[in-house]
Amino acid sequence: MEALILYFVIFFPSVYASPSPDWLVNGIQAARVIPFSVLRELGRLLTYTLPSLALLLYLIYRAKPRGAATEPVSLLKAAAPTRRDALPFVIGLPGLIIIGLFVSFLVSRFAPIAAPFRVEGPSSLYGWIVMILLCLGTGYLEELYFRYYLLSKLEKIVASPALRVAFSTLLFALCHAHDGLWGVLNAALAGVFLSALFLRYRSIHGIALAHAGYNVFVYAMGTVGN
């Protein structure tokens, strides 16, 4: 129950605050561009992303068994990524980019069916700094919740790894509903991929940095497309 309450508290405000509540117009979404705003993204980082991340880290630390000899991952034992996080990052970032490009290819073929918003990249050094910090915060926030926290919680009540991944991925995809149908598909494919990486390598840093790197890639593509 705590996990579901936390999901609605952390992730649904961003869905409702999205600039796209009317993403379906007569069943077809017109392609629109979301301009990058340094003040808006800095405000989101300071008032939403970082406080949500702090809350999640507190709950994870509070739930850690005292005196436990082992941890599911090394997050609470090491303050920085280690060499063991390199492989899931090296696999994760190209994998996410391939998934994103695949969905983009589908969009190019079926754009009349809910074409997604295009995110505009920053145009100044300050903008890039804010954007990178925001991507890091978002990457860690989402991976800590959907892969580390939620999958660990589900291990206690759901025996099947496939069902745990399916439930985590469903919630991950739903909180991207503001991106339209293609955004949900992209999140679903990425969610399965990242869950598989986490279960294989038990590395939160690797997949969080890969997630952040993919978000930076999306913004960079928005800059190139301007």
- Looking at the DSSP assignment, which residues form a beta bridge with residue 33? 118
Q: Is the pLDDT of residue 103 over 60?
A: yes
Between strands 118-119 and 33-34, the pairing is: parallel
Q: What is the pTM of this model?
A: 0.85
pLDDT at site 81? 73
Segment 125-136 shows an average pLDDT of 95
pLDDT at site 32? 61
Point out the least confidently predicted range of 15-19, 49-53, 119-123, 148-152: 15-19
Q: How confident is the model at residue 30 (pLDDT cuts 50, 70, 90)?
A: very low
pLDDT at site 193? 98
Segment 114-138 shows an average pLDDT of 85
Backbone CA torsion sign across 213, 216, 222, 226: negative
pLDDT at site 146? 96
Point out the least confidently predicted range of 68-82, 94-108, 176-190, 199-213: 68-82
| Backbone torsions φ then ψ of 134, nearest 5 degrees | -65, -40
What's the mean pLDDT when you consider all of the chain? 82
Q: What percent of the chain is predicted at pLDDT more than 90?
A: 50
pLDDT at site 67? 47
pLDDT at site 167? 96
pLDDT digits (tens, 9 = 90+) for 89-102: 999 999 999 999 99
Q: Is the pLDDT of residue 70 over 80?
A: no
Contact 29, 180 (CB under 8 A): yes
Q: How confident is the model at residue 25 (pLDDT cuts 50, 70, 90)?
A: very low
Q: How confident is the model at residue 58 (pLDDT cuts 50, 70, 90)?
A: confident
What are the respective helix, strand and coil percentages of the chain, to the nearest 5?
70, 5, 25
DSSP state of 203: -
Consecutive H or E run containing 118: strand 118-119
pLDDT at site 109? 81
Contact 100, 188 (CB under 8 A): no
Q: Give, rounded to a whole angstrom, the gap between the first and last alpha carbons of the chain.
A: 44
Higher pLDDT, 5 or 32: 5
Cα–Cα distances in Å, from 56 out to 12, 67, 128? 15, 21, 26
DSSP state of 28: B
At CA 220, angle to CA 218 and CA 226, rounded to 5? 105
Segment 179-206 shows an average pLDDT of 92
Please state, in angstroms and rounded to a whole number, the distance separating the CA atoms of residues 77 and 7: 25
